[in-house]
Amino acid sequence: MSISESNRVIIESFRDHLKFLRKKSLELRIELLKATNKAQFGHTGSSLSAVDILVTLYYGKFHDRPVMQFDPQKPGWDGQDYFVLSKGHACPALYAILADLGFFPKEEMQHLFQMNSLLQGHPVKKIPGIVLNAGSLGHGLSGALGLAMALKADRNSNRVFCLVGDGELQEGQVWEAAMAAAHYKLDNLVLIVDDNGLQIEGPTRAVMSVDPIVDKFESFGWKTVPVWGGHNFEELLSGLERAIEVQRRPAVVVAHTIKGKGVSFAENKSFYHGVPFSDEEMAVAVPALEEELALLDL
């Protein structure tokens, strides 16, 4: 095989991979919308904002190397990477992914948030695939920090990924953790900010401005990787790759996202931060997503 030929194969397989990720993200959107609609509870807008980042982490590959090492069949495996969903209210997106990957039966999604069910309103450790309780805003990065410190102490080279929301950055604890991560030079820690600019009460810059996010982390001693297309898998993958390569300091990927992404009437509306879709809204949203999915296969 000539060099140009092998390059062509690599590029084509990468194109296929991107298409696979787009497909996953559409399927999972439908899954999470159905589950939250059935439960009549759930943070729809936040989940739709975060789902592409989560898909990149759980399904993404750089040149055949997965972004995250994990095996649903081996909980507690020593060679695994870890993920902490600090913006725990986006858990419908994460649960849909964990169910799809076989961490627990897909059937559980039918009982989302119901009494006596596995899947709680915010992630808890008893759910297979979840390592830390999260959802109390600002906790996740501290937990990820402790985990990254413990990995370093164990001379273990695996990584910790953590996803926070931009509104969550208003919590002081995040900055305590940011300071400590730089102090301990945790290059095994990658933070991703789901920067959709909206929180439940309205635009982040109106409620309590957190900008400039990149400059803030920079001044805390972090490597910063801005990603303008927070729903573009190519950009997300390359951003994460750059973040992972950083040495002797933690890295943050600040991903510009759209709250409610993928459902036209819900995009960029803080109203949809924490509400499920009604049946009428589902009748508009789901066929549109299914249509998009069908177009991908053409």
Binding site for another protein (CB under 8 A): 82, 124-126, 131-133, 136, 138-151, 153-154, 156, 160, 172-173, 176-177, 179-180, 183-184
**Nearer to another protein by C-beta: 89 or 139?**
139
**Nearer to another protein by C-beta: 14 or 184?**
184
Amino acid at 126: K
Please write down the HEC assignment for all residues of 213-260.
Answer: HHHHHHHCCCEEEEECCCCCHHHHHHHHHHHHHCCCCCEEEEEECCCC
Least distance (Å) from another protein to the CB of residue 87? 15
Least distance (Å) from another protein to the CB of residue 213? 19
Least distance (Å) from another protein to the CB of residue 139? 5
**Nearer to another protein by C-beta: 28 or 181?**
181
Least distance (Å) from another protein to the CB of residue 295? 42
**Nearer to another protein by C-beta: 179 or 200?**
179
Least distance (Å) from another protein to the CB of residue 126? 8
**Nearer to another protein by C-beta: 13 or 69?**
69
**Nearer to another protein by C-beta: 110 or 156?**
156
Least distance (Å) from another protein to the CB of residue 262? 31
The CA–CA distances, whole Å, from 247 to 82, 187, 188, 219, 250 equal: 18, 5, 8, 17, 8
d(CA 26, CA 100): 13
The CA–CA distances, whole Å, from 229 to 9, 28, 29, 55, 256 equal: 26, 19, 18, 14, 6
Least distance (Å) from another protein to the CB of residue 74? 15
**Nearer to another protein by C-beta: 10 or 150?**
150
